[in-house]
Amino acid sequence: MRSTDFAPPRWLRNAHVQTVLGTSVLRSRIGSARLAANSVTTTPHVIDAGEGVRLSGLHDGPAGESKGLALLLHGWEGSVDSSYMRLSAAALLARGWSTFRLNFRDHGDSHHLNEDIFHSGRIDEVVRAAVEVARRFPAPRMVAAGYSLGGNFTLRLALHAPAAGLQLERVAAVCPVLDPARTMDAMDRGLGVYRRYFERKWRSSLQRKRALFPHLAYLDDRTLGQRLRELTRSLVEGHTDYGSLDGYFDRYTIAGDRLASLSVPAEILTAADDPVIPVADFERLVLAPSTRLTVTAHGGHCGFVRDARLDGFAEHWLAAVLDTRASG
């Protein structure tokens, strides 16, 4: 469904400007201020994700009773402290929700918790972590949301939820990665700034991992010096059971009809000008009847900045759709 709900001023419509501003430090500070204004109690937790895996996160609770718990998942090389995570938590808290912002393995300050490195096929541990979060913080309602790769994980979490006994009322995803192979192609063909950004962030993360676990000989300088595609291929082919880069991408793609069987009501928001996730991939989706896709003309990748004050559309959209009961 094409939407005109998000209409930034002309000077703010460039997709790259939107993408950069959306995750800026200034937006992160705005998120912190909004959390503080809501009298939030934030506590850190380490979550048992089963099979010896531990994941970290932050629980944000309102001053009074909460109407439910929202699990929030960040994008690749983001964290619980990313601007969109803070802003989304603040928007939900303002509506009376509590939130749990979960770090993926090796994100935020969690590299020491597990020896094996993160990859996007690790959905099982996120499902188990979500079940544990629901057990630890019981609430009358539970929802989940994510951005970019976190949006991909959120939709896969919803696919796995019934079998895991996880009672999700609704999920929302902002600019979710659909077909990782096409996203990699888009970064290779487009402005090099996005590819270099993720190369730098991921290389730094892997170097941090190597410092904590020096016996991980495969994280050598030659391997880490490769470009994004080659580095991904080296780690996938040498240290996973996916066999090939294509096999790895197929493990976590949600393109085509992969979401057609989704039974949990879902909302998806993306922008037609997203520079790293082609909008054509969304137009080819086969969706379940209870899934709604919203496409805006502008917004870049997880940007959706509305004005010079850097207020965002996505965090308010996310809070509003999650606050709507599934029966509505």
Question: Tell me, what's the pLDDT at 61?
Answer: 93
List 59, 74, 160, 301, catalytic entry = 301
- The span from the CA of 311 to the CA of 120, in Å, is 30
323 is a catalytic site residue: no
| Structural domains for the chain | 2-177+257-323 (3.40.50.1820)
Backbone angles phi, psi at 257, to 5 degrees: -105, 15
Residue 215 known to be catalytic: no
Helices (H), 107-240: 123-136, 149-164, 180-189, 192-212, 221-224, 228-239
pLDDT above 70 for 327: no
301 catalytic residue (yes or no): yes
Q: What tens digit of pLDDT does each residue of 192-231 get? A: 888 999 999 999 999 999 999 999 989 999 999 999 999 9
For residues 1-14, average pLDDT: 86
Tokens for 291?
């899934």
CB-count burial class (<10 Å; 0-12, 13-18, 19+) for 9: exposed
**Active-site residue, selected from the candidate residues 106, 274, 281, 323:** 274
Per-residue pLDDT reduced to its tens digit, 144-179: 999 999 999 999 999 999 999 999 999 999 999 999
Tell me if 90 sits within 8 A of 120, measured CB to CB: no
pLDDT digits (tens, 9 = 90+) for 68-127: 999 999 999 999 999 999 999 999 999 999 999 999 999 999 999 999 999 999 999 999
Instruction: Report the distance separating Cα 58 and Cα 42, nearest Å.
Output: 6
Which helix (H) or strand (E) is 227 found in, with range? Answer: none
Helix axes 83-94, 314-323, angle to 10 degrees: 40
- Among candidate residues 120, 148, 281, 298, the one labeled active-site is 148
Q: What is the pLDDT of residue 133?
A: 98
Whether the per-residue pLDDT at 325 is higher than 90: the answer is no
